Structure 1
Amino acid sequence: MTKMTGQTRRTILKGGVAAAAAATLGAPTVLRAQPAAVKIGLLQPMSGFLAQAGDLASIGAQFAVDEINAAGGIKALGGAQIELLIGDSKSNAEAGAQEVEALNEAGVVAIGGGFASGISLTATQAAARHDLPFLVDSATADSITGRDLANTFRLGPNFSMATEVALQNLIKLNEAAGNPAKTVALVHEDGLFGAGLAQVMQEKLPGLGFEILETISHPTPARDMSNVVLRLRSLQPDLVIPSHYYNEFVLMARTMQQQRVRPMGVYAVFGGAASSYQFVAEYPEAAEGVFDCNHWGDPSNPTDAELKAAVEAQGKHYAYNTPINYSVVKVLAEAIEKAGAADRAAVTEQLRTAEFGSGVMPYGTTKFGEDGQNVNALPLNTQVQDGKINVIFPDQFAQSTPVFPVNG
């Protein structure tokens, strides 16, 4: 795994030239040059306030690279090994675009990752200038794949896809309990991610029979959520639906616990901490019972357990960033295999027209629509139960039944 910075540049090694030279010299097979490594870029926030997500993503991506290389590499290229180059977006959009430029100069054939919507928007735009295929991992803004960029694809679900699933499951959850929840407070970070989800919720929830008492926004990063929770205490909503990143989610949940704000449920959509075992391990009381509709690996896939074990072996806590970035690398490698060349245009064409596996994500086959969105992407609903993050919806992936209402 090679870590990129804005100042790092790498020389592009052309495997075909090396192989031709070896053949001309008539060297024995065992002495001939190995095929040139195929370079895949991974853009993640390796520093800054989102660094935890980038760290977990890199573990999943490198796991996939090691797995592919151990199995013989890219067979269509004579067993060429994959080399992972990591670009640090530094948790901001401008640095993300700069790292795309560095990865381009390093000679990557494709880039995966992005994580945050704002970073992914600028990064994919930068990649488009070089006709560099970019496979977004977990960034959810609909607009990422709505700009007619031929190079841009997304593995996971977007805002609209995820909120549709989340709301269907919320109705199912509420009906099974006798429809006790009638009022909702929305809490969201004020960036593209949180504001976009809040807008969709504001449009959809009233038509489903829920009254939105208030929509509360907050900056990211935030160091205190006392005012937000005091407002929730005053409103007394049946449900709190938050959309924010890890630190803010933890702050809100801990403050709610301290101030004894106990709604029937905290039902997150892309909850930054609700699908992280760090939150569960460090703040078990605040985490217990929290729902989330989020990216999550297929719990019946044995590799998902292996990824979790790999993360824990490093003394870290598992979250969705690991399985989805494992899957991003697997899809990109399959596209290179199908293309039969480490050629950007050929890889883009395969991503545009072919079908792929989905790594450990619960998508069945991955197929990108005309806008580059994976039409089979599916979030899973989870709930923290007795210190474990269990899938509760849909039924074919469920590990347990939901507990609702959680409080009162």
Structure 2
Amino acid sequence: MRTRVQATLLMVAAALVVVACGGGGGASQGGSETIKIGSLHPLTGPLAVDGKRMDQAVKMAIEDINKAGGIEALDGAKLEFISGDTKGEPETASSEAQRMIDEGAVALVGPYTSATAATIARTAERSQVPFIIDVATADSILAQGYRYTFRIQPGSQTMGEYGARYLKEISEAQGSPVESVAYIHESSEFGTSVFEAFQKEAQRLGIEVVREITYDALNVSDLTSELTQAKAADADVIVATGYYRDGLLLAQAAANVKPDVKAVYGVANGAFDLDTFPEDAGDNGNYYLSSNYHYDATSDRARKLRQRFEERTGESMRTAAVFSYQAVEVIADALERAGSSEPQELRDAIAETSLQTELFPFDGPIEFDDRGQNVNAQPIVMQVQDGEVVQVYPEKYAQEEPIFPATPWSEGR
């Protein structure tokens, strides 16, 4: 009897060891357990329109991977979707990230805003769980020396520098060089960091920023005062950085104020290059230019993915959601190469990523530098033409020629 009891206790102890090995990070070495992936986005509040679509894209990517057989290197282990609402609030984002990690998430994806990304990154680093930034631009996030945070999209410095460079190249190619801009941006670290990078590069290129105008994106309800200030600056172009809702407000205000400028040009603007902007802004959005990260509209894979998403959700798959989908593919690729979902091994595999993408117009595969930044990420320029957003620059990704100068209220100066 004593021998039998001892044997039973040994079996229970062994089972507990197995359970323990599978918890605290959700490590899985075979197909019997799921691998939890946390999706952190603003599902309520003023940023929820994009946040919900990003969350749906993470879920869709997980389901696609599972339907394709799961993680082959882990005996077909399936991914499990965990969703969290950041509300666009840094403290909420941090607590939701910790909740997911406590529930066994081996990786996190998110979160759309730089302020929430900063707190999630700290939480992920403390818990040593990989965090893939799908959308959050501020370079300060990756300047902390974190080992577990990675970003697919271009950062604020790249966005600002390319924005200034593209504006100079397009305007000169169209025979109407830009010498001055008035810059309107939302006042958080996101808008400020993009503006500072743009201003520095613009100065180097001989373009003067004659007026900087800021606003609170979460609380603003009208931008007439800001557009009036921009008009008074007597600049060649108005440059704008912000989110979708305030981008629409800017277009409405600009149509009323009618500043005498060659163009309205978005840099990392969350409105001007979205498929819904021409419809929501109407004629007020015609000719708007936007230098931003963007899915590749010339890619057959991107077209099919966005079509499936719309059929599934009834909504268009915006660029931010395409990044969310891509982030899950980065994690799945790393799981295959690591042959383990143990967070440290997964982190090391993500750091060694070299993943070709047909979803974005990058000049190379997704590869991360020592800071966790995708070194081949770059923006492109889109424009609203005939009620549609089309790619216009660089030429290799262009669907149409850029129209410049042009504004909704005047096709030229």
Question: Contact conserved, 1:138 with 1:295, CA < 8 A, in 2?
Answer: no
Superposition pairs of residues 39-58 of structure 1, within 5 angstroms: 39-58=36-55
Change (3 A) 1:150 1:169: same
Measured after TM superposition, the shift of residue 332 of structure 1 is 0.9
Note the 1:9-408 alignment, pairs <5 A.
35-221=32-218, 222-313=220-311, 314-358=313-357, 360-363=359-362, 364-406=364-406, 407-408=411-412
User: 1:12/1:177 Cα in 2 relative to 1: closer, same or farther (>3 Å)?
Assistant: closer
2-side partners of 1:230 and 1:78: how far apart?
62
Equivalent residue for 1:22?
none
**Which digits, 9 at most, give the CA deviation of each residue in 1:18-61, with x for residues without a partner?**
x7xxxxxxxxxxxxxx5211111111111111111111212322
Specify whether residues 328 and 400 from structure 1 end up closer, same or farther in structure 2 by C-alpha distance, changes over 3 A only: same
CA distance in 2, matches of 1:40, 1:90: 19
CA–CA separation in structure 1 for the residues paired with 2:353 and 2:232: 53
**Contact in 1 for aligned 2:62/2:80 (Cα 8 Å):** yes
Output the amino acid matched with 2:185.
H
* Larger deviation, residues 298-307 vs 52-61: 298-307
Distance in 1 between the 2:49 and 2:319 partners?
12
- What is residue 29 of structure 1 aligned with on the other side? none
How far apart, CA to CA, are the structure 2 residues paired with 1:159 and 1:259?
29
Residue 4 of structure 1 corresponds to none
Decide which structure has the larger Cα Rg and report it.
2
Cα deviations by residue, 1:335-372 (Å, 9 ceiling, x for unpaired):
11111011100010011223223361223311111111
Q: Which amino acid aligns with 1:380?
A: I
- Preserved CA contact (<8 Å) 1:93 1:119: yes
- How many residues of Structure 1 are paired with residues of Structure 2 in the alignment? 383
Equivalent AA in structure 1 for residue 335 of structure 2: I
Q: Evaluate the alpha carbon distance shift between residue 346 and residue 11 of structure 1 in structure 2; reply closer, same or farther with a 3 A threshold.
A: closer
- Per-residue CA deviation, residues 229-283 of structure 1 (Å, 9 max, x unaligned), is 1212322322011111111111011111123335211111111111222222121
Match of 1:31?
Answer: none
| Structure 2: segments with no counterpart, 5+ residues | 1-22
8 Å CA contact 1:85–1:103 kept in 2: the answer is yes
TM-score of the two chains, using structure 1 as the length reference: 0.89
Give the C-alpha shift of residue 14 in structure 1.
6.7
Q: Distance in 2 between matches of 1:248 and 1:218?
A: 9
Shift of the alpha carbon at 1:385? 1.1
Match of 1:27 in 2: none
Deviates more, 1:190-199 or 1:299-308: 299-308
C-alpha deviation, 1:387, in angstroms: 1.6
CA, structure 1 residues 301+287, in 2 after alignment: closer, same or farther (shift >3 Å)? same
The RMSD of aligned alpha carbons is 1.9
Q: Is there any run of 5+ residues in structure 1 with no aligned partner, and where?
A: 1-9, 20-33
Is the 1:275–1:292 contact (alpha carbons within 8 Å) kept by the matching residues of 2? Answer: yes
Structure 1 pair 126/49, CA: closer, same or farther in 2 (3 Å)?
same
- What TM-score does the superposition give when structure 2 sets the normalisation length? 0.88
SS at match of 1:217: strand
